[in-house]
Amino acid sequence: MADLPVAAIQMRSGVDPEANIRAMTELVRDAASRGARYIQTPEMTGAVQRDRAALQKILRPEAEDPVLEAASSLARELGIHLHIGSTAVEADNGMAANRAVLFGPDGAALAHYDKIHMFDVDLDSGESWRESAVYQPGEVARTVDIGGARVGLAICYDIRFPHLFRDLALMGADIVTAPAAFTRQTGEAHWHVLQRARAIENGAFVISAAQGGTHEDGRETYGHSIIVDPWGRIVAEAEGRDPCVVLARLNIDEVKAARGKIPNLKNARSYRLNDGSKEEAERTG
């Protein structure tokens, strides 16, 4: 499948999972009716809820999660690959997992990915985030075949860690993903350059569905869901922060072409690190 019709779903998830499921369903159906065969939703599709106690009340184990149940049914009904960019599920140790799940056209879960890098930051705006206080970090980088293309899974803050995306590309990913709930402040500063950089560095398509707007819990997210080609060109983008569908047709052959022109993945070399001391450490290129 050299030509792959894809969609990034932009949402403004609130605190009620059932309302978010209805919004997701409407947008996914719209994307599928317009030809998309791979459809991605944003980080925290099921609920954007910054209150830890309130979040705990709606957490369910993956097998009982209503968002994932609805997504499985939608994928099967519409005959699509449906990638839930992430939703919060109950982990084994009393914490949550920020989990992506990609469903195949038969409704079966093809891959799971738990966000590896936790957004623990203090912003200039006064906002403070400590994801590690709520979420258990993932430990496995993952790719999955969707029929003619391989997708590398990542989530939001992961986009700031180039080595993860390089490893996904080395695992054969044609498409790398970073579904997000980027804050407005960080999005205005860095969203576009990070998406384009990861595409250029790895000669891969990047698809990042995003949350956008002011949410019920008071959070502001940047929106601008985006699809970038392996040369770093923006193929399609949401104009702002409102819920919408972003569509594109990807020619997967462009991945091979880009990597042939700039073969940096093959040209990487190991080297040593020296901070001025006599000790040197080996670094894998």
Q: Which two tokens stand for residue 111?
A: 């891959």
Q: What is the pLDDT of residues 177-225, one digit of tens each?
A: 999 999 999 999 999 999 999 999 999 999 999 999 999 999 999 999 9
Residue type for 109, please?
Answer: A
pLDDT of residue 127: 66
Q: Over the chain, what is the mean pLDDT?
A: 94
CATH number of the CATH domain containing 16? 3.60.110.10
Q: How many domains is the chain built from?
A: 1
Q: Confirm whether 156 is a catalytic residue.
A: yes
| List 43, 220, 237, 254, catalytic entry | 43
Mean pLDDT of 224-250: 98
pLDDT at residue 45, rounded to an integer? 98
Q: Are 200 and 231 contacting, i.e. CB atoms less than 8 angstroms apart?
A: yes
Domain that includes residue 271, residue range: 3-283
Catalytic pick from 90, 156, 237, 244? Answer: 156
- What is the per-residue pLDDT across 20-72, written as a single tens digit (0 to 9) for each? 999 999 999 999 999 999 999 999 999 999 888 999 999 999 999 999 999 99
> Taking residues 75-79, what's their average pLDDT?
98
pLDDT of residue 276: 82
The pLDDT of residue 126 is 64
Is residue 38 within 8 Å of 78, Cβ to Cβ? no
Q: What is the pLDDT of residue 119?
A: 84
pTM of this structure: 0.95
Which is catalytic among the residues 115, 237, 244, 254? 115
Catalytic status, residue 115: yes
